[in-house]
Amino acid sequence: MAKIPRPGKPVRGSKSGVPIMALFDLLGRRWAMGVIWALCKNGPCTFRELQAHCESISPAVLNTRLKELRQAGLVDRKPGGYVAKADGYQLYELLAPLGAWSKGWAARLAKKSDRSSG
């Protein structure tokens, strides 16, 4: 399986292991942010519920992401399903503003493509 990024250790693309680079390595993987998002929005979920919330993630990838997020201390597994830990929620709260911002961004992009295509 993929090497799991850890701050302080060399990370993909960074010898320094600066924390933000480790974080970007962790989050810059398919579905990583989506899983945190889904987990924090919907509360504790079973594996299959989480899979449903992510619409079309494959079990292999979900499982890999969950392992990574657990090793990163963001997610925990309890009897009954997966839960975001304190750090996971904090991260979600930092990510949350992106939700609102992305709507404006989408609108601006839509306008732009109006102009360029019609």
Partner DNA sequence: ATGGAATGCTATGTATTTAATAGCAACAAC
Partner DNA sequence: GTTGTTGCTATTAAATACATAGCATTCCAT
Q: Is 40 in the site for a second copy (CB under 8 A)?
A: no
DSSP 82-97: EEE-HHHHHHHHHHHH
A 10 A CB-CB count for 27 gives: 17
Q: How far is the CB of 117 from a second copy (least distance, A)?
A: 12
Q: Is 19 in the site for DNA (CB under 7 A)?
A: no
Choice between 37 and 80, CB closer to a second copy: 37
Q: Is 13 in the site for DNA (CB under 7 A)?
A: yes
Task: Give the contacts of 11 (CB within 8 A, at least 6 positions apart).
Answer: 5, 17, 21, 22, 25
Q: Is 76 in the site for DNA (CB under 7 A)?
A: no
Q: What is the SS3 assignment for 3? A: coil
48-51, Cβ contacts within 8 angstroms, sequence gap of 24 or more: 49/81, 50/81, 50/82
Q: Is 39 in the site for DNA (CB under 7 A)?
A: no
Q: What is the SS3 assignment for 19? A: helix
Q: How far is the CB of 114 from DNA (least distance, A)?
A: 25
Of 43-51, 75-83, 84-92, the window that binds a second copy (rule: CB under 8 A) is 84-92
Q: Which residues bind DNA (CB under 7 A)?
A: 1-3, 12-13, 29-31, 46-49, 56-61, 63-64, 66, 77, 80-82
